[in-house]
């Protein structure tokens, strides 16, 4: 069956709802950890579950290259292959492919994108149909349309042409789509241009998807521009479908997104920061390598995660300084739990009609008076 979204409450634009999938029902707004290669880096599914993780991301491009979608299909689909029984969303590969396409003008064609494998440099060609077919085989819960994530800054003319092409690709992908147990999301592009965002949203919705995502954000633009991109698109999205803001995961951006009506977020930030010794805390981001933690025998934060229940900053610092992988693992657990707990708190605040107050308090503490 397809996913179903049930909107249960509105606090201003901020929404609280439920997402029903073949692999469980989960509350929104939610944060989705990224597991590109059919794994959230360094973590087991059990650890994700303990952090109360729901949907996780995986990536079409990476799994296409290796092990190959046929092998995943032979294994019984992505869930069985990676031993994760929660919902999985697969990104289309567009984001990766575009960064690998050297010559934008030549390599990006109406038919698809020419680029070179990041593994062996072999020339490859990915089309909207191919991306969808791969995702059908991977058998994720949610597939994403193949789109171009427009860089920033970019000319109006390029943004317009690209946005129109993404729209045509969305249509082609939808027509090629063939998996009745899988849902398909459309992606709004448009760059920083309000009229293109509007156009993209309206036309994408006309095609009819199970959910809609806002793409092309956090590509180097300033925060105000990013928030405006959300505003310019989201008012044209249907209220009874989930909205997914792609690639956003800074705690403050999550709050800003929720305030604007976003239901789902994904980001590499918690795991990437963790591998580089940076921890989220309610008083802002800290770097556990810093000398001041050498003799700090307290947990990272007032946090209910496995890491904070069992380990001190001094120990984690030691692991990072000694270059031990366990540090990245333990910190990934914390950072993911931090964002998931943030979303839990956000949902509670929405349910109690005080989201804006919660947001203001969080930001005040996070940024330090």
Partner RNA sequence: GCGGAAUUGGUGAAGUGGUUAACACGGCGGAUUGUGGUUCCGUUAUGCAUCGGUUCGAUCCCGAUAUUCCGCC
Catalytic residue among 11, 91, 250, 253: 91
User: Does the footprint of RNA cover residue 38 (CB under 7 A)?
Assistant: no
User: Does the footprint of RNA cover residue 147 (CB under 7 A)?
Assistant: yes
How long, in residues, is the chain? 369
Contact 289, 320 (CB under 8 A): yes
SS3 assignment, position 238: coil
- CA neighbours closer than 13 Å in the CB half-sphere of residue 109: 10
* Residue from the set 112, 249, 261, 299 that interacts with RNA by CB under 7 A: 249
User: Does the footprint of RNA cover residue 49 (CB under 7 A)?
Assistant: no
Task: Name which of 3 and 144 has its Cβ closer to RNA.
Answer: 144
User: Does the footprint of RNA cover residue 36 (CB under 7 A)?
Assistant: yes
Task: Name which of 21 and 163 has its Cβ closer to RNA.
Answer: 163
Radius of gyration of the chain measured on its C-alpha atoms? 20
Cβ-proximal residues to 23 (8 Å cutoff; 6+ apart), any chain = 79, 85, 86, 87, 88, 141
Which 261-290 positions form the footprint of RNA (CB under 7 A)?
266-269, 271-273, 275-278, 285, 287, 289-290
Catalytic residue flag (residue 147): no
Catalytic residue flag (residue 266): yes
DSSP letter string, 161-200: HHHHHHHHHHHHHHHH---TT-EEEEEE--TT-HHHHHHH
User: Does the footprint of RNA cover residue 128 (CB under 7 A)?
Assistant: no
Which 74-103 positions form the footprint of RNA (CB under 7 A)?
91-92, 94-96, 99
Buried b vs exposed e over 212-247: b needs ≥16 C-beta within 10 Å? bbbbbbbbebeeeebbbbbebbbebbeeebbbbbbb
Q: Which residues bind RNA (CB under 7 A)?
A: 33-36, 39-42, 57, 59, 91-92, 94-96, 99, 118, 144, 147, 149, 187, 189, 215-219, 223, 246-250, 253, 266-269, 271-273, 275-278, 285, 287, 289-292, 294, 321, 323, 325, 328-329
């Amino acid at each position: 069956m397809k996913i179903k979204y049930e909107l249960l409450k509105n606090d201003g634009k901020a929404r609280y709802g439920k997402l029903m999938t073949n692999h469980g029902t989960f509350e929104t707004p939610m944060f989705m950890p990224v597991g590109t290669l059919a794994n959230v880096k360094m973590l087991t599914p059990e650890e994700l579950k303990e952090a109360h993780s729901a949907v996780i991301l995986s990536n079409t491009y990476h799994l296409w290259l290796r092990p190959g979608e046929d092998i995943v299909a032979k294994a019984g689909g992505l869930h069985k292959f990676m031993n994760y029984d929660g919902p999985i969303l697969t990104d289309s590969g567009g984001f990766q492919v575009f960064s690998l396409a050297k010559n934008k003008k030549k390599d990006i064609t109406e038919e698809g994108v020419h680029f070179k494998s990041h593994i062996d440099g072999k020339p490859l060609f990915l089309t909207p149909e191919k991306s969808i077919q791969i995702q059908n085989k991977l058998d994720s819960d949610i597939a994403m349309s193949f789109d171009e994530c427009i860089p920033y800054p970019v000319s109006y003319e390029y943004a317009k042409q690209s946005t129109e092409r993404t729209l045509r690709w969305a249509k082609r992908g939808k027509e090629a789509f063939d998996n009745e147990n899988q849902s398909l999301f459309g992606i709004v592009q448009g760059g920083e241009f309000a009229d293109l965002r509007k156009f993209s949203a309206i036309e994408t919705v006309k095609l009819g998807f199970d959910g809609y995502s806002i793409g092309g954000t956090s590509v180097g633009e300033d925060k105000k521009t990013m928030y405006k991109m959300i505003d310019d698109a989201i008012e044209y999205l249907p209220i009874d479908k989930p909205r997914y803001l792609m690639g956003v995961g800074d705690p403050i951006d999550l709050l800003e997104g929720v305030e604007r009506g976003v239901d789902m977020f994904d980001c590499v930030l918690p795991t990437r920061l963790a591998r580089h010794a940076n921890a989220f805390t309610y008083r802002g981001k800290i770097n556990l390598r810093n000398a001041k933690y050498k003799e700090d025998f307290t947990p990272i934060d007032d946090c209910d995660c496995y890491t904070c229940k069992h380990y001190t900053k001094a120990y984690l610092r030691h692991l990072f300084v000694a270059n031990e992988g366990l540090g990245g693992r333990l910190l990934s657990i914390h950072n993911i739990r931090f964002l998931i707990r943030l979303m839990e708190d956000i949902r509670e605040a929405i349910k109690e009609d005080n989201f804006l107050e919660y947001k203001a308090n969080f930001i005040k503490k996070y940024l330090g008076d």
